[in-house]
């Protein structure tokens, strides 16, 4: 199949903007709980639709009083929190355009975005963010106003707008049309400077309204339940912004959680008790890893693995039945599944708050086996695909017939085409208006309504899309073999000890890999082998939002121990992961050797984007010496037993995969 179209379920309104839904909802259901907000005492309290409308109106008047005008761009630099949503809808009420900044952005990144977007005012979360802005303020002559959330920005602006009439905001709101730019969201910048994607009010309406209509029945655990979701995705990312808009337009109670660490997130999931969640695979991987570690610590590793196997086989049987290729789970499998549901699966569901039966995942690829496990455990994860340029999801798995390992079918109102070279092209109401001030870049990807994504993919006979790689990331070995590294990297990364895997081999005689480790997983692995307890290893500290940190901080710690990284048992674990990955490809495409790195890839080092994507060129430059060492000798033969090579040495062993420390 080369092209598939799914017609829209909802038409974009001919008039109005995104803020209208706030005022409409308050007028129709003023007492309805629109948000859950965590108080200083840790308890969650409801914010009604009318109360939120009043806060949006007061803030909008304050922004007008402080000189923000229709069409102005105002940056927001913060973690995910209630006030960000408040500012978004207040700015949209007066026709201004929020420009999101990642809270971890460097001064150089901040300066580039603020200058490129012509930002005139900025909202920051705390003093550190204010200092980041202050360090580049001399290069930003258009930036004249700065407000700080933790210093009372909302109250300050509310007081400033006390004398502005409600009708002034109303006139601004009525002047909006769906084609008005709503926001400028900058791309991750994996291959260069981030580009500003101009997304209109119509883009968000087309995306959110069709997704809500198509998936509304999965937002609730049971019919009649209040629909609620806890947003822990970064609002600086388009996925988080789309969730926010869809929740308001779809009348789903929305809570905010700023810290994407298990210690902060899991208690709030239990307290807020969402009925569905939207996540990146990282979160689902972490919850699964925590469950596995808990079982191992209790001496129940073998039963847990049996439970995983039963869940996967059960979900596969259900999947095959849905596609008419099997009879579904047999009696013996159903019985074992019921036993493990009480012993294991219920605990996984409880970790998500107890009421979640569906989740939507995007941002990066999720391992098929992980998706099957969650489905077998009673939480169906619907994987989707989209980009900043498509205002979030362009495809998603249908809840009644998901195909795990794929990114699903087009969301309503979207057409997917596979071009002659395998590139995925998209068309629909959610496709962006273009890159801000960059006609050449816009013309390179937008042609007659089609957006050329740069991703490679295929459509199966049922119209399900699978992403197979990026055009710019295709490796060509010196022997002329072309391959996409993504499949290999994802399979290696599925091993619980692996944090990242980067496949190299461009203009080289064979394919090799750099591997980084998950510190928490390694600490647990050591403990289970009789090493120090996880909480007592060197370098302990606190993690950071969106998974950038771990329980071991950012400084020298566990993985800086050279002897540990050279551990033969650890190397054997990683070798098993590489061997498993190699079963997916031909021998010429397989990883012949790898190196375990002591350091991690971080955004702070410029090796990951804010959305945790690999900056491949930067990694290869930063680890040029390590990459060169992978090619000082050549493996003789295929996969097999091998000794371990050391720094400065050739590739050890007689044949096969070698771990180079």
The predicted-structure confidence for 390-405, as pLDDT tens digits, reads as follows: 999 999 999 999 999 9
Residue closest to 50 by CA, chosen among 68, 25, 70, 75: 25
R_g of the chain, CA atoms, integer Å = 25
Residue 639: its pLDDT value, please? Answer: 38
User: What span, in angstroms and rounded, lies between the C-alpha atoms of 83 and 314?
Assistant: 43
Per residue in 154-186, pLDDT (tens digit) is 999 999 999 999 999 999 999 999 999 999 999
| Token reading at 102 | 């990642």
DSSP conformational letter for 436: T
Position 641 pLDDT exceeds 50 = no
Strand segments (E) across 463-622: 465-470, 475-476, 482-483, 498-504, 511-517, 591-596
Comparing 99-103, 199-203, 254-258, 479-483, which segment has the lowest mean pLDDT?
A: 479-483
> Does residue 424 sit in helix, strand or coil?
strand
pLDDT category at 287 given cuts 50, 70, 90 is: very high
Residue 94 phi/psi, 5-degree rounding, is: -115, 15
Per residue in 259-283, pLDDT (tens digit) is 888 889 999 999 999 999 999 898 8
pLDDT category at 560 given cuts 50, 70, 90 is: low
pLDDT category at 548 given cuts 50, 70, 90 is: very low
Q: Tell me the mean pLDDT in the region 295-323.
A: 96
Residue closest to 103 by CA, chosen among 545, 543, 542, 541: 545
Question: Do 452 and 425 form a contact (C-beta atoms < 8 A)?
Answer: yes
Q: Tell me the mean pLDDT in the region 202-207.
A: 98
User: What span, in angstroms and rounded, lies between the C-alpha atoms of 502 and 249?
Assistant: 40
Residue closest to 222 by CA, chosen among 342, 418, 358, 113: 358
Q: Where in the chain is the domain with CATH 3.30.300.30?
A: 474-660
User: What span, in angstroms and rounded, lies between the C-alpha atoms of 131 and 149?
Assistant: 14
How many Cβ atoms from other residues are within 10 Å of residue 381's Cβ? 22
Q: Tell me the mean pLDDT in the region 607-629.
A: 88
Burial annotation 628-653 (CB, 10 A radius, 16+ → b, else e): ebbbeeebeeebeebebbeeeeebbb
Bridge partners, residue 45, by sequence: 37
Tokens 């010429």 belong to residue: 588
- Tell me what percent of the residues of the chain surpass a pLDDT of 70: 90
Question: Do 464 and 403 form a contact (C-beta atoms < 8 A)?
Answer: yes
pLDDT category at 479 given cuts 50, 70, 90 is: confident
Dihedral sign, Cα of residue 25, residue 28, residue 33, residue 39: positive
Architecture label for domain 16-176: 3-Layer(aba) Sandwich (3.40)
Q: Tell me the mean pLDDT in the region 561-583.
A: 85
Q: Tell me the mean pLDDT in the region 446-457.
A: 94
CA distances from 93 to 34, 107, 171 (A): 18, 30, 9
Question: Do 106 and 136 form a contact (C-beta atoms < 8 A)?
Answer: no
> Does residue 482 sit in helix, strand or coil?
strand
Position 539 pLDDT exceeds 90 = no
How many Cβ atoms from other residues are within 10 Å of residue 126's Cβ? 15
Per residue in 511-533, pLDDT (tens digit) is 999 999 998 889 888 888 876 65
CA distances from 299 to 293, 304, 388 (A): 10, 10, 44
Bridge partners, residue 480, by sequence: none
Q: 58 CB contacts (<8 Å, ≥6 apart)?
A: 157, 158, 161
User: What span, in angstroms and rounded, lies between the C-alpha atoms of 614 and 622?
Assistant: 13
Task: Estimate to the nearest angstrom the gap between the alpha carbon of 479 and the chain centroid.
Answer: 36
Q: Where in the chain is the domain with CATH 3.40.50.12780?
A: 16-176
Per residue in 127-157, pLDDT (tens digit) is 999 999 999 999 999 999 999 999 999 999 9
User: What span, in angstroms and rounded, lies between the C-alpha atoms of 373 and 316?
Assistant: 9
Residue 403 phi/psi, 5-degree rounding, is: -115, 105
Q: In what order do the strands lie in the sheet with 392-396?
A: 276-279, 358-361, 380-387, 392-396, 409-410
Q: Tell me the mean pLDDT in the region 478-505.
A: 90
| Averaged confidence pLDDT in the chain | 89
Task: Tell me what percent of the chain is helix, strand and coil, each rounded to the nearest 5.
Answer: 40, 20, 40
Question: Topology of domain 474-660, per CATH?
Answer: GMP Synthetase; Chain A, domain 3 (3.30.300)
Dihedral sign, Cα of residue 393, residue 395, residue 401, residue 403: negative
Q: In what order do the strands lie in the sheet with 591-596?
A: 498-504, 511-517, 591-596, 658-660
Comparing 295-304, 332-341, 522-531, which segment has the lowest mean pLDDT?
A: 522-531
Task: Estimate to the nearest angstrom the gap between the alpha carbon of 325 and the chain centroid.
Answer: 32
DSSP conformational letter for 256: E
Residue closest to 661 by CA, chosen among 597, 604, 573, 589: 597
User: What span, in angstroms and rounded, lies between the C-alpha atoms of 150 and 170?
Assistant: 29
Residue 660: its pLDDT value, please? Answer: 43
CA distances from 7 to 73, 134, 175, 424, 641 (A): 34, 48, 30, 19, 54
Element containing residue 205 per DSSP (H, E): helix 201-215
User: What span, in angstroms and rounded, lies between the C-alpha atoms of 206 and 435?
Assistant: 19
Residue 192: its pLDDT value, please? Answer: 66
User: What span, in angstroms and rounded, lies between the C-alpha atoms of 402 and 385?
Assistant: 14
> Does residue 435 sit in helix, strand or coil?
strand
Position 647 pLDDT exceeds 80 = no
Residue 223: its pLDDT value, please? Answer: 78
Residue closest to 14 by CA, chosen among 180, 148, 154: 180
Q: Where are the alpha helices (DSSP H) in 139-228?
A: 153-160, 166-174, 201-215
User: What span, in angstroms and rounded, lies between the C-alpha atoms of 647 and 629?
Assistant: 8
CA distances from 631 to 65, 581, 624 (A): 64, 20, 11
Residue 159: its pLDDT value, please? Answer: 98
Residue 420: its pLDDT value, please? Answer: 94
Question: Do 217 and 108 form a contact (C-beta atoms < 8 A)?
Answer: no
Position 325 pLDDT exceeds 80 = yes
Question: Do 574 and 659 form a contact (C-beta atoms < 8 A)?
Answer: yes
Q: Tell me the mean pLDDT in the region 285-289.
A: 91
How many Cβ atoms from other residues are within 10 Å of residue 508's Cβ? 18
Residue 133 C-beta-side C-alpha neighbours within 13 Å:
28
């Amino acid at each position: 199949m080369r092209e598939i179209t799914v017609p829209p379920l909802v038409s974009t309104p001919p008039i109005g903007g995104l803020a209208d839904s706030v005022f409409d909802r308050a007028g129709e259901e003023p007492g309805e709980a629109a948000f859950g907000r965590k108080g200083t005492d840790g308890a969650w309290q409801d914010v009604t639709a009318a109360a939120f409308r009043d806060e949006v109106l007061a803030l909008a008047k304050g922004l007008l009083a402080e000189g923000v005008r229709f069409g102005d761009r105002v940056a927001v630099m913060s973690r995910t929190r209630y006030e960000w949503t408040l500012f978004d809808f207040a700015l949209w009420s007066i026709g201004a355009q929020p420009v999101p900044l990642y809270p971890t952005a460097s001064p150089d990144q901040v300066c580039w975005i603020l200058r490129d977007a012509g930002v005139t005012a900025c909202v920051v979360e705390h003093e550190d963010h204010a200092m980041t802005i202050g360090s580049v303020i001399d290069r930003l002559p258009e930036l004249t106003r700065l407000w700080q959330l933790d210093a009372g920005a909302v109250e300050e602006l509310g007081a400033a707008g006390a004398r502005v009439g409600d009708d002034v905001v109303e006139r601004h709101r009525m002047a909006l049309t769906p084609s008005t730019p709503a926001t400028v969201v900058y791309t991750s910048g994996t291959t260069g400077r981030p580009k500003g994607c101009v997304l209109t009010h119509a883009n968000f309406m087309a995306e959110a309204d069709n997704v809500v209509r198509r998936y509304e029945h999965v937002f609730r655990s049971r019919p009649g339940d209040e629909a609620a979701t806890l947003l822990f995705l970064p609002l600086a990312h388009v996925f988080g912004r789309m969730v926010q808009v869809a929740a308001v337009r779809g009348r789903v109670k929305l809570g905010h959680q700023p810290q994407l660490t298990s210690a902060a997130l899991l208690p709030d999931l239990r307290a807020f008790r969402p009925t569905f969640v939207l996540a990146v695979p990282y979160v689902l991987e972490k919850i699964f890893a925590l469950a596995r570690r808990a079982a191992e610590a209790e001496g129940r590793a073998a039963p847990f693995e049996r439970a995983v196997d039963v869940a996967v086989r059960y979900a596969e049987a259900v999947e095959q039945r849905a596609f008419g290729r099997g009879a579904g789970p047999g009696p013996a499998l159903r019985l074992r599944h019921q036993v493990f549901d009480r012993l294991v699966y219920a605990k996984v569901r409880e970790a998500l708050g107890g009421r979640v039966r569906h989740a939507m995942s995007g941002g990066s690829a999720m391992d098929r086996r992980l998706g099957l496990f969650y489905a077998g455990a009673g939480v169906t994860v619907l994987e989707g695909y989209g980009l900043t340029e498509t205002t979030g999801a362009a495809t998603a798995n249908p809840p009644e017939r998901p195909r795990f390992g794929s990114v699903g079918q087009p969301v309503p109102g979207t057409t997917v085409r596979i071009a002659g070279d395998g590139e995925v092209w998209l068309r629909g109401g959610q496709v962006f208006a273009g890159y801000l001030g960059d006609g050449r870049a816009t013309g390179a990807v937008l042609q007659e309504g089609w957006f050329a994504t740069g991703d490679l993919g295929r459509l199966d006979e049922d119209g399900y899309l699978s992403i197979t790689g990026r055009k710019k990331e295709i490796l060509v070995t010196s022997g002329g073999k072309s391959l996409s590294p993504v499949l290999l990297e994802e399979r290696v990364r599925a091993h619980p000890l692996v944090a990242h895997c980067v496949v190299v081999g461009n203009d080289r005689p064979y394919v090799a890999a750099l591997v980084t480790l998950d510190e928490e997983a390694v600490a647990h692995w050591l403990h289970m082998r009789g090493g120090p307890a996880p909480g007592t290893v060197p370098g302990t500290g606190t993690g950071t939002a969106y998974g950038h940190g771990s329980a071991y901080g950012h400084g020298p710690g566990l993985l800086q121990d050279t002897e540990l990284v050279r551990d033969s048992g650890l190397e054997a674990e990683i070798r098993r992961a590489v061997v498993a990955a190699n079963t997916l490809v031909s021998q010429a495409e397989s990883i012949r050797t790898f190196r375990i790195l002591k350091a991690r890839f971080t955004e702070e080092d410029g090796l990951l984007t804010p959305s945790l994507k690999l900056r491949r060129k930067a990694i290869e430059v930063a680890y040029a010496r390590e990459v060169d060492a992978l090619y000082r000798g050549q493996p003789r033969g295929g996969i097999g037993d091998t000794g371990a090579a050391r720094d400065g040495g050739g590739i050890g062993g007689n044949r096969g995969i070698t771990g180079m420390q």
